[in-house]
Chains A and B, each alone.
Chain A
């Protein structure tokens, strides 16, 4: 029995493929049903895949500093597309430079993300949160 259906990918013009592969294997091994869209994924592609697969959560990675621009408006598009209440996580190096994580987290939560993971988070952190959030 799957623990939940996830859409995974690296957003924007970001080609960092290694972390994406690690997350894919970690989530799959943990019992999730993962659709991995790979690198350079647009908001629309995340949403389209989530609709077709009836996903429980969208997991967005961003490693190149432009995450804030790339993620803006994604929650609104989800709502418009009928994905009300879908769980949304974001993690990686999501902003440029060293900024206090509390500020960054606040900004991404305001954008509609349910959880924001700072640099150095492990796949296990995300798995634990997913298990909790999807049990709700």
Chain B
């Protein structure tokens, strides 16, 4: 039995392991205010209504309920260690509620306390590099009461001193996220975040048996689906978009190195398995963010609604997040919101290329990941799974003439997570990767674009 305590719905997925079969899925409202087991029991009752009573031999769970895993990332230079810290946190399935660079001020520290993150990631300086900033920041944090654990993953030459400064706080030392300029080392931090999540946070939130945050389960599923397992080959590099009510998550696998020879790569290296989360793009809580990030004019064009009607409905949706589209007009607006969430989130996730004229002729500079050769696009999230226009929506994730500089996939096949099983399969892959892979390949609905 695989359980996903989502922020809105608790989803259950039953799998028959010996026969490698999917028995059924069901969901019910998450009941985090009272006791999560109420929502879980409702979902389980619904499931046994569908498939009859089953004996459960093992239960695994993931959670993004109770605010998910909230993290604050602290680094030195915004586009170097601060970015590396934020990339590492997102890769571990966290929601980064704040990113800070350079020396923290008193105001910054009280802002961090108010954000009350589940974990703070303190970085800064390459190994052997800058010490002053991270030492200052550790001192600033030591002077206040932090009731969250602090991971220290900065310049290794001062980790001992930082441990002393922060003694009395929950401190975990880890390898540097950026040991040298141009090298990103996020795996140890990802691992440690997962351990702390298991050890402290799951317990504190009353989520028994939870193994990992939901986004981390989805990323695990994406990695498995991309790489394959044993003799079963995977899909190769893929791009996965999950449009939720509050956020839009994008995952990609592959090195993202330039696909052409005349390109110079610049900026921080990118992780092979990359996750970004857009807190301002969502179908309900963050619907207004989509209009802000694009324009009311575009939402109006795509939905066929007048701009005023767009504003009115978006405002309504923000305050009534459980609302489902009933009329044609309402479905049209949902389509426009989903399309623009996909477009904006993939544009932010994918790398970009710039044409530069030099004395030696024309050359190209690439920032971020080149996903142009990615061959599979996967869509998940309630709004996409239930949309009647999935093929049309998927085009908003691909390369387009409107954004020629963006390195999104040129041509990809579409797979839709219609039964909403990705997070469950990510969980299952920790115990039976073979079965998880087989079930994903069988149950994702394939569409050639």
Q: Which of B81, B130, B359 contacts A14 (CB 8 A)?
A: B359
Quote the shortest CB–CB distance from A6 to chain B (angstroms): 11
> Is B438 in contact with chain A by the CB < 8 A criterion?
no
Find out whether the CB atom of A64 lies under 8 angstroms from the CB atom of B181: no
Hey, which bits of chain B sit against chain A, CB under 8 A? 76-77, 79-81, 124-126, 128-132, 178, 180-182, 264, 266, 356-360, 363, 365
Are B359's CB and A52's CB within 8 A?
no
> How does the 8 Å CB contact mask read for A57-95 relative to B, with 1 for contact and 0 for none?
000000011100000000000000000000000000000
Which residues of the partner chain A approach B365 to less than 8 Å between Cβ atoms?
40
Q: Which residues of B contact A51 (CB under 8 A)?
A: 76-77, 80, 130
Q: Nearest residue in B to A49 (C-beta to C-beta)? A: B181
User: Given A14-B358, A33-B128, A40-B365, A52 and B76 touching (CB < 8 A)?
Assistant: yes
Least CB distance, A96 to chain B, in whole angstroms? 10
Q: What's the Cα separation between A7 and B130 when bound, in Å? A: 14
Q: A28 interface residue, CB < 8 Å from B?
A: no
Which B residue sits closest to A2, measured CB to CB? B128
Check: A111 CB closer than 8 A to any chain B CB: no
A53 within 8 A of B: yes
A54 to B359, CA, bound (A): 33
Nearest B residue (CB) for A96? B359
Given contacts A51-B77, A52-B80, 11 further A-B contacts (CB under 8 A): A5-B128, A13-B356, A35-B180, A37-B181, A49-B181, A51-B76, A53-B128, A53-B181, A54-B128, A64-B360, A66-B359
A15 touching B360, Cβ below 8 Å: yes
A80 and B301 alpha carbons, distance in the complex (Å):
46
**Does A22 belong to the interface (CB within 8 Å)?**
no
Of the A-B pairs whose beta carbons lie under 8 Å apart in the complex, a sample of 13, sorted by A's number, is A2-B128, A13-B358, A15-B264, A16-B360, A35-B180, A38-B264, A39-B264, A51-B76, A51-B130, A54-B130, A54-B132, A64-B358, A66-B359
Q: How far is the CB of B138 from chain A (nearest CB, A)?
A: 16
Closest-by-CB residue of B relative to A63 is B359
The size of the chain A interface, using a CB distance under 8 A, is 24
Q: Are A48 and B357 in contact (CB under 8 A)?
A: no
Q: Are B129 and A52 in contact (CB under 8 A)?
A: yes
CB distance A64 to B359 under 8 Å?
A: yes
Complex interface residues of chain A between 36 and 56 (CB less than 8 A to chain B): 37-40, 45, 48-49, 51-55
Known: A33-B128, A40-B264, A40-B365. Is A52-B178 also a contact (CB below 8 A)?
yes
A13 to B359, CA, bound (A): 8
Q: Is the CB of B128 within 8 A of A52?
A: no
What CA separation (Å) do A7 and B363 show in the bound complex? 24
CA distance A3 to B287 in the complex (A): 56
B357's nearest neighbour on chain A, judged by CB, is A13
Task: Give the residues in chain A near B79, CB-CB below 8 Å.
Answer: 48
Residues of B within 8 A of A53 (CB): 125-126, 128-130, 180-181
A65 and B359 form a contact (CB under 8 A): yes
Out of B81, B129, B357, B363, which one reaches A54, CB within 8 Å?
A: B129
Given the complex of chains A and B, what is the CA–CA distance between A52 and B75 in angstroms?
Answer: 10
Determine the chain B residues whose CB is within 8 A of the CB of A54 once the complex forms.
125, 128-132
Q: How many whole Å from A110's CB to the nearest CB in chain B?
A: 25
B356 neighbours in A (Cβ, 8 Å): 13, 40
A6 to B129, CA, bound (A): 11
Which residues on the B side are within 8 Å of A37 (C-beta)? 181-182
By beta carbon, the residue of chain A nearest B264 is A40
**Cross-chain contact A15 with B181 (CB below 8 angstroms):** no
How far is it, in angstroms, between the C-alpha of A35 and the C-alpha of B125 when the chains are bound? Answer: 13
Most buried by A among B77, B128, B180: B77
Distance (Å) between the CB of B214 and the closest chain A CB? 33
Residues of A within 8 A of B125 (CB): 52-54
Whether B360 contacts A52 by the Cβ 8 Å rule is no
Residues of B within 8 Å of A66, CB to CB, are 359
Closest to B79 in A: A48
- Shortest distance from the beta carbon of A65 to any chain B beta carbon, whole Å: 7
Q: How far is the CA of A53 from the CA of B359 in the complex (A)?
A: 31
- The CA-CA distance from A48 to B124 in the complex, in Å, is 12
Please name the residue on chain A nearest to B178 by beta carbon: A52
CA distance A122 to B251 in the complex (A): 48
A15 touches B363 (CB 8 A): yes
Whether B81 contacts A52 by the Cβ 8 Å rule is yes
- 3 closest A-B pairs by CB: A53-B129, A64-B359, A54-B130
Q: Which residues of B contact A49 (CB under 8 A)?
A: 80, 181
- Give the docked Cα–Cα distance between A40 and B264 (Å): 8
Cross-chain contact B266 with A45 (CB below 8 angstroms): yes
Residues of chain B with a CB closer than 8 A to A38's CB: 264
Say how far A97's CB is from chain B's closest CB, in angstroms.
Answer: 13
B128 CB to nearest A CB, Å: 7
